[in-house]
Amino acid sequence: MVEENNMDKKKILFDKIDSESYNVLDKPFNFVKERGKTALICEADPVVRVKISNILEEMGYYITESATAHDSLRDMRFHAYHLIVVNENFDAQGAADNHVLDYIRHLPMNVRRNIFVIMLSVGVSTMDNMAAFAESVNLIINLENIDDAGAIIERGIADDEAFYSTFKSAMKKAGHL
């Protein structure tokens, strides 16, 4: 019964996003150069959000910060972000109820492979690869390690690029990326 209620809530939110009319203001990065990297931050805690934002700006990302899952989904409707940071409890009671993570889980693989997704967690260890796989994210950062997030993100991205370089090269040659 609880799972059906969660499914109904997700469907209502996704339908609401899909039915909204086009608004040029919903396109957050019309001005970004072709090679500009973009990031979406889905974090309610302002202290954590500022830390992550500062780190990503130093790494050269253009940032969008979302206050709600609705805002995040609307932003993702018109822009494929290079990097998304989402707290497991963002506008939800946990990762299973998280609309942003659910949306990302259901993206077509050719789109998803080009997005580096970081989940911020209280209960999962930083860089736990099995938990990251189970949550369909690239990297997990435990909030206890937030002060080291810059180095953790750089290492996670480097590991991801090394792991998928052959795959992405083959997909590009095949015309799928």
Beta strands in the chain (DSSP E): 37-42, 61-66, 83-87, 116-121, 139-142
Structure confidence at residue 1 as a pLDDT band (50, 70, 90) = low
Mean pLDDT computed over every residue of the chain? 85
Give the residue among 88, 89, 90 at the shortest CA–CA distance from 65.
90
Domain boundaries, the chain: 2-173
At residue 144, does pLDDT exceed 90? yes
pLDDT in tens, 4-39: 655 555 555 555 545 555 444 445 544 445 568 999
pLDDT in tens, 44-67: 999 999 999 999 999 999 999 998
The token pair that represents 77 in the structure block = 């409707």
Domain 2-173 has CATH 3.30.70.2740: no
For residue 24, the model assigns a pLDDT of 44
Give the residue among 87, 81, 86, 39 at the shortest CA–CA distance from 64.
39
Sheet holding 139-142, edge to edge: 61-66, 37-42, 83-87, 116-121, 139-142
Residues facing 117 on adjacent strands = 84
Distance CA 87, CA 101 (A): 9
